[in-house]
A = this chain, B = another copy of it.
Amino acid sequence: MKIVKPSTIAGVMELLPKEQLVFDNIKEIIEDTYKKYQFMPIDTPVIEKNEILFAKGGGETEKQIYEIASDSKDMSLRFDLTVPLARYVSEHFQDLNFPFKRYHIGKVYRGERNQKGRYREFYQCDIDIIGHNSLSIYNDALLPRVIYEIFTKLDFPEITFKINNRKLLNGFFRSLGIEDSTDVLRTIDKKDKIGIENTFEELSKLTDEKTAKTIVDFIENSDSNSELLYKLFDFSDDELFLEGVDELNKVYRYMIDLGIPDDNIKIDLAITRGLDYYTSTVYETFINGYEKIGSVCSGGRYENLASNFSKQKLPGVGMSIGLTRLFYQLQELGLIDEKIKSLTDILIIPMDESINEYAIEILNKLRDNGESVDIYLESGKFKKKMNYADKCGIRRVIILGEEEMSKREYSIKDMETGEQISKKFGEL
């Protein structure tokens, strides 16, 4: 028979089982926490109609869509979970209760060029809260609260939320006489990459030196959150600006009320996020000491989720963890390896087939007691059996022979320390 060389397509993450266990554990913590805060699950088809995926039109992402080959050429793989959410909320509008809090953990697809750390298939873990006509600003604080709890449970280094408000920025630029702030925002967005001096130079070209200086002074500051908010209220009397300051202040206060420590929050006026999508609160999240890997969870508030699919006004706020990329980065930093451990604590090894039934009796008992226990019943030499336990990283083994069976006892051997504890069957 001709043998086909086994390999995946390029640009996907495929893990070994022991790494997959860690990945799944992270995913489970994310999901359980989303649910603890009453976000409801949705699960939409990976394949959507083209008319849905291309409804908005014109984005960079759409060039990367994987189309399904068929006569009608009318289906493709989703490239994010936001378009499916907009479609879902519009389609099921009558059956949903608003504010609608949903989470969605699923794979999305992009025909990226093959590049280290860029994936063609990757997990997104999204939470969004969708209102009908209006949505309380409290929700903008709830999302980081949920994310904060997730990263605390994940037991990685501490995180910092950088938050800002787009109304505040747009109001500020308007007060400087800048009507179309697109290019200015784009420049500020690059600040952490290009440095403050280059930012100043680029801004000088877009405006003038004096305005550039004002902007740079505005986005660079070392005030505490409270000090900064205090100053902002007095900074300008532009209406939009003040609305933004008021919102930012409320989000910050609610974040504190919900138990996020002030140390983990940084109001950062240089955070801009997705230039055409967000309209109010914006966030990025950084792992302290690992800021270079970029934001691990971003998002913000948008005015209307589903203008392509519905006449309803559906304002919302969302955050998203790009789990595949995050896992890749944590793995590169060596933060994953230390979390790998065996799924099995104890392995039972009967010496020959006549012991099997007794061995299974012990297996059942230990399993009923909540132990993570497995049995090795394959044929082969003793060395092969011990080798299996060793390669699987199983710490304790129970070896059973005629003697143990006749006395109805067994002993647990610790593979690391060599320590051995004998037990009567009754003591299980």
Give chain A's interface residues, CB within 8 Å of chain B.
1-9, 12, 14-18, 20-21, 23-24, 35-38, 40-49, 51-52, 55, 66-70, 73, 75, 77, 86-88, 90-92, 95-97, 99-100, 102, 107, 109, 111, 120-121, 131, 134-136, 138-139, 254, 257-259, 306-311, 343-344, 356-357, 360-361, 364, 367, 372, 374-375, 377-379, 388, 391-392
**Chain B residues in 8 Å Cβ range of A306:** 6
Name the residue on B nearest A374 (C-beta): B38
Contact B6 A87 (CB under 8 A): yes
Known: A3-B311, A4-B309, A121-B46. A136 touches B377 (CB 8 A): yes
Residues on B with beta carbons closer than 8 Å to the beta carbon of A70: 66, 111
Q: How far is it, in angstroms, between the C-alpha of A154 and the C-alpha of B95 when the chains are bound? A: 27
Within the assembled complex, what's the spacing in Å between the Cα atoms of A40 and B25? Answer: 12
State A367–B5 Cα separation when bound (angstroms): 53
A378/B134 in contact, CB under 8 A: yes
Given the complex, which residues of B lie within 8 Å of A377, measured CB to CB? Answer: 136, 138-139
A90 / chain B contacts, CB cutoff of 8 Å = 6
Q: Is the CB of A6 within 8 A of B73?
A: no
A40 partner, pick from B18, B77, B311, B361, beta carbons under 8 A: B18
Q: How far is the CB of A151 from chain B (nearest CB, A)?
A: 18
11 contacts between A and B (CB under 8 A): A1-B307, A2-B308, A6-B310, A9-B48, A20-B43, A24-B41, A66-B69, A68-B68, A257-B360, A257-B361, A258-B360
Of listed A14, A37, A42, A121, residue having the most chain B CB within 10 A: A14
Chain B residue nearest in CB terms to A344: B38
Contact A45 B308 (CB under 8 A): no
Report how far A220 CA is from B365 CA in the complex, Å: 38
List 6 A-B pairs, minimum CB-CB distance, nearest first. A17-B40, A6-B90, A6-B91, A69-B69, A67-B69, A6-B309
Structural contact, A109 and B47, CB atoms closer than 8 A: yes
Do A134 and B379 have beta carbons less than 8 Å apart?
yes
Instruction: Give which listed residue, B21, B23, B38, B51, contacts A372 with CB less than 8 A.
Output: B38
Contact A21 B48 (CB under 8 A): no
A8 to chain B, nearest CB (A): 6
**What residues on B are CB-neighbors of A3 within 8 Å?**
308-311
Determine if B43 and A23 form an interchain contact, defined as CB atoms under 8 angstroms apart.
Answer: yes
Q: Which residue of B lies closest to A119 (CB)?
A: B45
Give bound CA distance, A38 to B46, whole Å: 30
Partner of A364, one of B73, B86, B120, B258: B258
Measured between beta carbons, the chain B residues less than 8 angstroms from A136 are 377-379
Q: Contact: B17 with A96, CB < 8 Å?
A: yes
Let me know if B48 and A8 touch, CB within 8 A: yes
Chain B nearest CB, measured from A70 CB (Å):
8
Given A68-B68, A69-B68, A4 and B38 contact (CB-CB distance below 8 Å):
no
Query: A68 contacts which of B66, B254, B343 (Cβ < 8 Å)?
Result: B66
User: Which residues of the partner chain B approach A6 to less than 8 Å between Cβ atoms?
Assistant: 52, 86-88, 90-91, 306, 309-310
Distance in Å from the Cβ of A69 to the closest Cβ of chain B?
A: 4
Q: List 11 other contacts, CB 8 Å, given A40-B343, A69-B73.
A: A6-B310, A8-B49, A9-B48, A9-B49, A12-B45, A21-B41, A38-B343, A46-B107, A47-B121, A66-B68, A99-B378
For residue A71, give the distance in angstroms from its CB to the closest CB of chain B: 11
Chain B minimum-CB-distance residue to A90: B6
